[in-house]
Each structure stands twice: as structure tokens, then as C-alpha cells.
Amino acid sequence: MSEDSRQIPAERFATRLAACRAAVSEHGFGALLIGVGPDLRYLTGFVGEPMERLTLLVIPRQGPVSFVVPHLEASKAQATPLSAAGAATVVPFEETADAFTLVAGLLAEAGTAAGSTALPIGLSDRLWAMHVLGLQRAASGRRFGSAGPVMRDLRQVKDADEARLLRLAARAADRTVDAIAAGRLVGRTEAEVSREIRGRLIDEGHDMADFAIVGSGPNGASPHHDAGDRRIEAGEPVVLDLGGTLAGYLSDTTRTIWVAGEASIEPGPEFRRVYELVREAQSQATAAVRPGVPAERIDATARELIAAAGYGDLFTHRVGHGIGLEVHEDPYMIAGNTTPLRPGMAFSVEPGIYMPGRWGVRLENVVMCGANGAEVLNQSGLALRLVRG
């Protein structure tokens, strides 16, 4: 398979399902019920949006795995790599049937065969309340819990196919940032630049542009400022935070650039000092990544440096979040998360300093924990860029 292939081979899904089954027993569940969302995509390859009709992968601790779907989606479910490989059986239901009763029947059958009817059923985090309530009604004798911890253990360590797709997405985001920094900004609104970013994210290989934050001047002091009508001026910084989805996997990168304009207005000493502080915090936090280090240590590394320079109160968010099929997922780099890093964990390292009413600086790379340290997936430069146009 070529390095830039977007396909995930069917065997990979069978491997993931086998690991999930082992975890179902380890976590003491009788079965897991996985609704439409990233967990289902991870296990089956099924791509779709949740809707009122129930779509559910039923994974008992023993026995056949059923993919319960509305009749009109049966062929789509059958074509997923997991079903096509014969590792799950598609169970379609008719438009007038009660899908919850159908699922309750499958659970009862599998539970009786495995002697596990007293064990709780794990529900995926993204299952809608209307579905949870329907299942509780139809399987009224059963206890329900969260499948979140099971799926987190599996998904937070990326396999080789996921790592490849995260790299492809990161590079596509890098090319987008580089193109924006090489273009014209003065006099354009944030919204115009944001639209250009979205277009470029697609042109560079994403299937979807998910976000394109453009925070110019004072707007950069709000970390999740979107993009508005403000016109970018010469002599101010702009925070660009952008990402898209490529074959299901997210990119997410931030660069803060200085708009010098044709008048070549240089940044002042305070901006330069803050920029270099954030750059150093980003670099030291990345250097702290290695197997066994608690996730909170990555946050603390950046935070201690920024606090020592007197800007601790202006670094108002955790330093990073896991990334994969979701833009924010486990593991979170935040005080209190003692999860030891493991090879294959992918997450952002994105310290920032926000000067209210003036400007902000944030620099963000996605990194993956390797055997000896971080593999940095984003490769566009971190040195301050001065945009002349």
C-alpha cells in the first residue's frame, strides 16, 4: 500500500473489533452498543450522521456481532470493511418495526448464551437520548453504563493507518497556512480570509474544512474567536487556527503571523518577547513528550515557563487535546490527567498568551508520541513570519 493511500485495509477493522471484544470482558460489560459517530466509524468504517432511525453495532462479549440498521441503509452497512470481511452480520429492520425491541432481543439471546444477562450494557458516548431511552424501555431489566472508557482506551493509541492519515491531514493544513502567510492580508476582512482558508483546506486534500479561525489584532485575544467583519490592518498580528477532515482524520494547526504590510511596520519588543515565549513553551512541551510521561506534565512544562515570565494568568486554556476521528478527544494535556503517554498517542501542543483588548499569540502543532519522543506532524515553520502584503 502506498504511503499516501487513504484506504484502511479491512483486516485493520477486524483487529480493532477483536481488541474491542477483549476490552468488553475486561471492563465487565455484557455487551457494547455503538451508535453512529466516531466510535462506529473506528470499528466498522461506517460513515454517516446520526438520525432518528436507530443504527447500532451490537458487540456482545461472546457470539456474533450484529450491525442493526434501517432497511434503506443495509447495503451501505454491508459494504463497510467490517461487514464485508464477515466480522459483523448486518441485521436490517423495516420502517414500521421497533428497532429497540429487536436490539433487546439480540442482547437477551447473547446474554443467555454467555450467562452474562446480569452484566451492564455499555452505550457509546454519542448515542442520542431518544435512543438511550428507547433501549432502556425495551431492555428494562438491564443496567446501562458508558462505553466511553472502553472506546477511549482503544482510540487514544493510533494504529499505523491512523498515523498515516493524521500525517497527510497535517501536511495539507501546513500547505494551507503557508499559502495564506505568503498572500495578501491588509484590507481584507477576517471572514474573507477564513473563506480562502476553507477553500484551500479542500484544495490541499481535505474532504471537509472544519474550522478556520482568523483573529486579527484584538480579536486574537479571544482563543476561539471565529472570523468576523473586521478588516486586517498593517502593523498587527493575526492568529490563524485551522483544520479539516481527511479520510475521517482531523488536522488542527495554529500560526500567529505579523502583518507588516507594504509600509513594513515591524512588531514591537513586547510582541516579539511574548511570541518567543510561546514558541519556547511550545518547543519545551513538545520535547517533554515521551512514553511514560503523564499527560499533565506536557501542560505543566509549557505553563511553568509562561508563568515564570509573568504571563501565567494570560494562558487561559489547557495546552492540548487528543486528535484523531474527532478534533478534541482523549488524551487531554491538562492538569489532573495522569494518564501515561504511550507510543501512538496523537495530540496538539498549543500554548497561547492572550492580551485582552490588544492581541494574542498561539502556536499549535499536532504531535505523536513515539518510542523515543515526539514526532511532530506539522512541519510549517514556527519562526515569526512577517507578511508584506
Q: What count of Cα atoms within 13 Å lies in the side-chain half-sphere of residue 351?
A: 30
State in angstroms the smallest separation of the CB of 256 from Zn ion: 12
Cis peptide before 50 (omega within 30 of 0): no
State in angstroms the smallest separation of the CB of 50 from Zn ion: 23
Q: Which is nearer to Zn ion, 55 or 254 (CB)?
A: 254
Beta partners for residue 334, in sequence order:
none
Is the separation of the CB atoms in 385 and 181 below 8 Å?
yes
The one-letter amino acid at 215: G
Q: Is residue 241 at the binding interface for Zn ion, with CB under 5 A as the rule? A: yes
Q: Is residue 252 at the binding interface for Zn ion, with CB under 5 A as the rule? A: yes
The one-letter amino acid at 340: P
State in angstroms the smallest separation of the CB of 241 from Zn ion: 4
Q: Which is nearer to Zn ion, 102 or 170 (CB)?
A: 170
Tell me the per-residue interface mask from 320 to 349 with Zn ion, x by CB under 5 A, - otherwise: ----------------------------x-
- One-character DSSP codes across 271-305: HHHHHHHHHHHHHHHHHT--TT-BHHHHHHHHHHH
Question: With the C-alpha atoms ordered 94, 95, 96, 102, is the resulting torsion angle positive or negative?
Answer: positive
**Pairwise CA distance, residues 73 & 71, whole Å:** 5
Tell me the per-residue interface mask from 192 to 231 with Zn ion, x by CB under 5 A, - otherwise: ----------------------------------------
State in angstroms the smallest separation of the CB of 344 from Zn ion: 19
How far, CA to CA in Å, does 278 sit from each of 145, 191, 202, 205, 303?
41, 26, 29, 29, 10
Span near Zn ion by CB under 5 A; candidates 40-48, 241-249, 263-271, 272-280: 241-249
State which of positions 62-121 bind Zn ion (CB under 5 A): none
Reading the block at residue 150, the C-alpha cell is: 472502553
Span near Zn ion by CB under 5 A; candidates 4-12, 85-93, 165-173, 238-246: 238-246
Q: Which is nearer to Zn ion, 85 or 314 (CB)?
A: 314
Q: Which is nearer to Zn ion, 196 or 241 (CB)?
A: 241
Q: Is residue 365 at the binding interface for Zn ion, with CB under 5 A as the rule? A: no
State in angstroms the smallest separation of the CB of 127 from Zn ion: 24
**Pairwise CA distance, residues 136 & 139, whole Å:** 5
Instruction: Tell me the site size for Zn ion, rule CB under 5 A.
Output: 5
Span near Zn ion by CB under 5 A; candidates 229-237, 239-247, 286-294, 304-312: 239-247
Q: Is residue 162 at the binding interface for Zn ion, with CB under 5 A as the rule? A: no
**Pairwise CA distance, residues 67 & 155, whole Å:** 20
Q: β-pairing, 329-333 with 320-322? A: antiparallel
Owner of C-alpha cell 516579539: 272
Q: What count of Cα atoms within 13 Å lies in the side-chain half-sphere of residue 158?
A: 28
State which of positions 254-283 bind Zn ion (CB under 5 A): 254
State in angstroms the smallest separation of the CB of 270 from Zn ion: 24
Span near Zn ion by CB under 5 A; candidates 4-12, 25-33, 190-198, 237-245: 237-245
Listing from the earlier edge strand, what are the strands of the sheet with 66-70? 89-93, 66-70, 56-60, 31-35, 121-123, 144-146
Where along the sequence are the contacts to Zn ion (CB under 5 A)? 241, 252, 254, 348, 364
